[in-house]
């Protein structure tokens, strides 16, 4: 089963100074952090802020290639958490054929934002990595971040600064 999520925020981890994409379950208060690289966070931030780049970025190019090949990005799914690394897949339809393409979650999220398609997390991954903002944390990553994320407000999820 897949759980639909939205991007709740993009911020810096105060302990590691690495960017985090915070995904929120649309049907509950559970949130799930995913650490991403600086360049990937920048690509996500540019699309969140609807900034216009003078030339197409890699994720714009990928979206354009899918379109020009008469394809549609139907959804992205964060499929697995293996050795503290998230795995993702792109679900692309071309005519009547659907294909699943392996991707890094950060690239998949950046592409999903550009293609305006839904973002999902497998139920197993959400169970392993989620943080319930009502106070229950699950998983070691969630345990470390629970207190910090629970104390955040909307201003903390403001504009992402590089």
Q: Place 144 in a pLDDT band, splitting at 50, 70 and 90.
A: low
Cα(131)–Cα(32) distance, integer angstroms: 6
Q: Which CATH number is 112's domain given?
A: 3.10.690.10
pTM of the entire predicted model: 0.82
- Nearest Cα neighbor of 120 from 37, 31, 25 is 25
Structure tokens at 14: 């105060």
> Does residue 161 belong to any structural domain of this protein?
no
List the domain range (segments joined by +) for residue 126: 2-152
Total structural domains in the chain?
A: 1
pLDDT single digits (tens) 51-101: 988 899 999 999 999 999 999 999 999 999 999 899 999 999 999 999 999
118 within a domain of the structure (yes/no): yes
Render pLDDT for 90-141 as a digit per residue (tens, 0 to 9).
999 999 999 999 999 999 999 999 999 999 999 999 998 877 554 444 444 4
């Amino acid at each position: 089963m897949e759980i639909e999520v939205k991007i709740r925020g993009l911020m810096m981890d105060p302990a590691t100074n690495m960017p985090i994409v915070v995904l929120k379950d649309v049907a509950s208060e559970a949130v799930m952090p995913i650490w991403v690289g600086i360049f990937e966070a920048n690509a996500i931030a540019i699309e969140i802020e609807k900034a216009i780049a003078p030339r197409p970025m890699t994720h714009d190019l990928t979206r354009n290639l899918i379109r020009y090949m008469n394809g549609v990005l139907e959804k992205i799914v964060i499929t697995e958490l293996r050795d503290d690394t998230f795995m993702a897949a792109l679900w692309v339809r071309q005519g009547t054929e659907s294909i699943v393409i392996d991707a890094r979650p950060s690239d998949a999220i950046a592409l999903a934002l550009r293609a305006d398609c839904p973002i999902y997390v497998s139920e197993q991954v959400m169970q392993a990595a989620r943080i319930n903002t009502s106070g229950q944390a699950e998983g070691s990553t969630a345990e470390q971040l629970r207190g910090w994320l629970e104390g955040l407000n909307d201003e903390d999820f403001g504009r992402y600064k590089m």
